Structures are given as C-alpha cells and as structure tokens.
Amino acid sequence: MANWRDVINAYAVPEPCRPFTTRGMTAVQLTARVSTELGLDFGTRYVPDFEGRTFRLSQGLVKKLAKYANHAAYAGWVESTLLRPLEVWVRPDPHSNDMQPRRHYFGAYVGPGGVTSHLVVAAFGSVVINGFRLDNVSTADSKRFGELLHLGYSPVEPPLPMAKGAPFPMAPLPV
C-alpha cells in the first residue's frame, strides 16, 4: 500500500470550498454556520456516498462538529468526501467502547496556495457521526487500517502522477 504522501501528491483534488475561520465566533454562530455548510437549514438531510448508500446528516452531527475548529471549518467537505473518497476503511474506533465497525472515508484536497488538507468522515450504520481534518501525513497514515473497502484511485506506482504540479525536470548530466 502506498504511503499517504504519495497518494495525495498524485490524487488530491481542489477544495470543494474554502474552510471558514472559526475564531471569534460564538457557539450559536458556529452551530448555525456548520448547519449551513452541511445544508441542514431545514433539519435532517440525506446524502449518498460513492456506492449510492444513503447517510443521514443531522443536528447531532452539527453539534459535534461545532465543538472543534478542525471539525467545524471543514464541514463543507463532508459530502464531497463521501461521494469521491480516495480510500474507505472499515474498522472499529479504537477510542470508543463500542467496537462495532465504522466506515472511514479519506479525502485529500489542495487549496489555492498548493497546501494539502486531509479529511476523514466517519459513518456508523446509515449516519455520518464525524468529520475532521487531519494535521499531517503521518497522522493520516496512522489512521489507515482495518479492512480496505474502497480504493478511489489507481495504485500509486512509479512514475507517479503529480496532482500538485509537474515533477522537477531532470538536470542535464555533464558530458
């Protein structure tokens, strides 16, 4: 299995929308903004994943995402990650007492400045239960375990395609 850095260098896609700044927002403002980003202005909403499975987005998810900046700011990416994940892993959450398996949808996005962000969306049954940005490549790699359910890209093998720019040109060798 390729490491996550190679995967994102080859297959990251442009951000579906810019993450929003949470600094200075009250809890009520933050909750309202997350609800809007998820398209939940009228309560519950159902969204499909790459297989056509339907998942519920609810006000419970809004409250959970609104608690943390790295969850809230990226709420607008949840649906894109479900529809076009790079990888989907099925496994229990090691930080939970409930050992029933969850689906973990991995996405990678490139911002206008060329910076890559990694998002994981967790679903249990037919409900999206979390969505959060990962801080770095090594954190993303450490969360890629369990049963690989879906690979949304061609296996990464040399020569690597480059989503973030062309490979550096080869310098001519002296004769």
> CA 45, CA 58: separation in Å to the nearest integer?
7
- Measured from the Cβ of residue 165, the count of other Cβ atoms closer than 10 Å reads 9
Which domain covers residue 52, as residue numbers? 4-151
Structural domain count, the chain: 1
Determine, yes or no, domain membership for 117: yes
Tens digit of each residue's pLDDT, the chain (175 residues): 789 999 998 999 999 999 999 999 999 999 999 999 999 977 789 999 999 999 999 999 999 999 999 899 999 999 999 999 999 999 998 888 888 999 999 999 999 988 899 999 999 999 999 999 998 899 999 999 999 999 999 886 655 555 555 444 444 444 4
Determine, yes or no, domain membership for 124: yes
Determine, yes or no, domain membership for 77: yes
| pTM of the complete model | 0.86
Identity of the residue numbered 50: F
- Terminal CA-to-CA distance of the chain, rounded, Å? 39
Determine, yes or no, domain membership for 167: no
Q: How many residues does the chain have?
A: 175
What percentage of the chain exceeds 70 in pLDDT?
89
The tokens for 71 are 């969850």
The tokens for 128 are 């999206």
